[in-house]
Structure 1
């Protein structure tokens, strides 16, 4: 494979990308990352999985998590500033470590991003099925309910990234207003026993340091997706500047929101009572009933809008990853097709949308049935754990790629490109091990082996490509945004 042929393939891939350039600004990129974290969903449903361990100290756990995620994000921001591509991690690892590792990263990203929409189909369906039954005595199968947002997701994706993010902006704003408003009402009322900063102290943990560590493992799930703005690199104005800023701003904003709202939750139910909260609890429903009964429907609306925003934005991300891998020859060319009018990867949208619906229904059918809400709930639980096992190794690989890339480029800075990525690697490996150790019941104990089998399959695919289509593998990760000229002007 000569340099001239490789360069020709790179230029051809660039010219055929077809996505709408300069379609979004910094605000749109921030919304992409912030909304995919799902502030309302994460605030309403995630802290109670940490509380059996960290108890009243859960706000401190989220504060520590915020710092850890910022450390992890530093390497991603460095790479997104140098390699603006819709392929995101796939491109970063390809350029930093090599094409085979990049292909494996793409496979893991597919698990992480592609499973989020079907997971949200299950969660929306089960949550709304239970809510309709409780509030109105109406019972509709969860999968029927879930099909409605799934179809809307596909329609928005076909219309283009601007339509998807415009919808996400409205939903994100609504959910933040509701969760912040209810938190402020709790604080204004003085909580159950008065305002206190005790929940921000390690001494508030009923199980000491070990409780904080285990609580951290579950709290970190609330930040998954913080990097999503990177997949918009080819559609954002001035991507080398705006994408890193979007990642930073979204992590800080959503992280601070988490800390404040979880603190409000703890003082709202009471420091002592928070130690008894577990994953089966619905504390925010109780908080609304206690401090603002009129806001109960708003809490339901915020939860629903947050779930849908996560669905829409995660779908936007995975469609662009599939598109990039398709146009670079890593996947069938059908994924590379772009609608000339709307500048959207039409077939990638339809394939991913169909995949989401089929996976949600199949997993629900096998795990709890299509009529009972437990089926939809299991879809969310099982796929959520699987996608977490997929994304954490990607964070590790990207930070390794950061170190290698900047050493090769001759722009290595020991703190930004050495110390911070190494620390991020240790944190993410520890988090991955913790995730596996905390799940002791089937089928969760099977899932690490399922991910290992998937990685083995993807590695086999990378080896096959290296032998049968070395020209394609040689230019993997070459397609990057052409927004630099706009920046210079």
Structure 2
């Protein structure tokens, strides 16, 4: 069963944007608002501004690297090509924490909403149904997946606009719109950092667009545009909506379940009908996000399988009719079922470790590739390829320091397992891990 069929180019800018938006899920802002409001003591918009800075500089680093290496694999590919295959493998292995656990986050969020709405239904059933939907959608062609996701992304944007309208209506035209959600006497830098670690999760996902490079027309232009557009758009949406929410309800402890404050706010500002519609769209958004997350996971596994760093016959196989790495899709679905035994907090912790590892090495890759290897050191190059990634590393360093100890422990254990496998694969580092040789002359 050889992997003699490569990924097919089928995606344009709007396809990539649709997948990116569905992966990052615009309604995710509502999922984490209650937790973030408590952590920041009522300064969620300010924490969002900090998170945007932390993420945007890293987005620029991904933009630089995807132009040089327009192929599946994302951070795994960049570290492999810039440093060496051993480091690339470890980065890819760590990134699996990000990619493998992201579908779980969406399934667990669906369970959170549906269990509160239907308390009589066993909560584990929502996890199983969600993951089965993710897997079923990804078995088909990537264009079918895009069409499925695009419809629901539109609904998410509409519900977000409606939510903002009801918030503004509730505030009233005569309300003094203060800057307290951004700054007050109770604001502390430690609270902003604590909130940023949580809110960074709502931006993470832009990097997964790089895994679509080999299925995208003109990826050196299309992927960077998509990453920047969606990051800036969501930054504006998240900051605006949480500003109005925080202004109207500065203390989420007044709600029955502060962690799920958004659904209670929806009922207060729009009534039971709007609240029902809100929950339905939010749940659907998480299902769509899970579909996109599993798609990206299957592409990272494909990149590693094609390199034969994990068994090629299984992970490097692409179905000849659908063009999908079908075994990777099924494996991702099976692995995601472990969400039945995990809490949302634990899954987020594991996810953040993988994401921050990938972000760190992509920024390092930019510095080493352009500044040292290519010796691009004119003023513009210093700004783009040295100062910008260094700033990104500083922001990410702050997020690392404030990461939950459980996340660091689980992540280190995961990487130790990866290192042991790498030692076995390379016969005690006596040989290089297998690599896929990309023909750089092939047109994007």
Please give the TM-score of this superposition, normalised by the length of structure 2. 0.91
Q: Does 1:60 align with 2:35?
A: no
Residue ranges of structure 2 left out of the alignment (5+ in a row): none
Distance in 2, matches of 1:212 and 1:59, equals 10
Which residue number corresponds to residue 118 of structure 2?
Answer: 132
Query: Using the alignment, how far apart are the partners of 2:109 and 2:299 within structure 1?
Result: 24
Residues 58-137 of structure 1: pairs in structure 2 closer than 5 A:
58-133=44-119
| 1:283 aligned residue (252, 261, 286) | 261
2:417 is matched with which residue? 457
Query: How much is the aligned-residue C-alpha RMSD, in angstroms?
Result: 2.5
Aligned to 1:424: 392
On the 8 A contact 1:156/1:164 being kept in 2, the answer is yes
Deviates more, 1:117-126 or 1:451-460: 117-126
Change (3 A) 1:310 1:480: farther
Cα–Cα, structure 1 residues 340 and 246, in superposed 2: closer, same or farther, change >3 Å? Answer: same
Q: d(CA) in 2 for partners of 1:274 and 1:122? A: 22
SS of residue matched to 1:340? coil
C-alpha contact 1:91 1:476 (8 A) present in aligned 2: no
Deviation, 1:280, is 3.1
Is the partner of 1:46 in helix, strand or coil? helix
- 2:429 aligned with 1:478: no
Query: C-alpha separation between the residues in 1 aligned to 2:171 and 2:45?
Result: 17
Distance across 1 between alignment mates of 2:389 and 2:4:
33
Equivalent residues of 2:22, 2:153 under 8 A apart = yes
* 411 and 32 in structure 1: CA distance in 2 versus 1, 3 angstrom threshold: farther
Q: Tell me how far 1:184 sits from its aligned partner.
A: 1.9
Which of 26, 29, 54 is matched with 1:39 structurally?
26
Q: Which digits, 9 at most, give the CA deviation of each residue in 1:200-219, with x for residues without a partner?
A: 5422x624333323322322
The answer for the alignment partner of 2:366 in structure 1 is 402
Structure 1 counterpart of 2:206: 226
- The aligned residue for residue 415 of structure 1 is 383
The C-alpha deviation readout for 1:350-390, integer Å capped at 9, x for no partner, is 12211212x123x25xxxxxxxxxxxxx2x22111111112
CA shift, 1:89, in A, is: 0.9
* Contact 2:110–2:286 (Cα < 8 Å) also in 1: yes
How much does 1:196 deviate? 0.8
Q: Could you tell me how far apart the structure 2 residues matched to 1:461 and 1:290 are?
A: 53
- Which residue number corresponds to residue 390 of structure 1? 354
Q: Aligned partners of 1:251 and 1:453: how far apart in 2?
A: 31
Q: Deviations over 1:196-251 (max 9, x none)?
A: 14135422x62433332332232222212221111100001100011111111111
Q: 1:16 to 1:400 in 2, by over 3 A?
A: farther
1:166 aligns with 2:147: yes
**How big is the shift at 1:132?**
1.6
2:285 maps to what in 1?
306
Q: Is the Cα–Cα contact under 8 Å of residues 31 and 250 in structure 1 kept in the other structure?
A: no
1:260 positional shift: 0.8
Map residues 235-246 of structure 1 onto 2, 5 A cutoff: 235-246=215-226
* Partner Cα distance (1:115, 1:387) in 2: 6
Mapping of 1:133-212 within 5 angstroms?
A: 133=119, 139-190=120-171, 194-199=175-180, 201-203=182-184, 206-212=186-192
CA distance in 1, matches of 2:180, 2:435: 48
Whether the 8 Å contact between 1:51 and 1:274 is mirrored in structure 2 is yes
Q: Given that residues 326 and 335 in structure 1 are in contact (C-alpha distance below 8 angstroms), is that contact kept between their aligned partners in structure 2?
A: yes
Aligned residues: 437
- Aligned residue in 1 for 2:7: 19
Contact between 1:94 and 1:477, CA under 8 Å: does it hold in 2?
no
Residues 263, 275 of structure 2: 8 Å contact kept: yes
Q: Work out the CA distance in 2 between the residues paired with 1:28 and 1:469.
A: 41
User: Larger deviation: 48-57 or 316-325?
Assistant: 48-57
- Structure 1 residue 39 displacement after superposition: 1.9
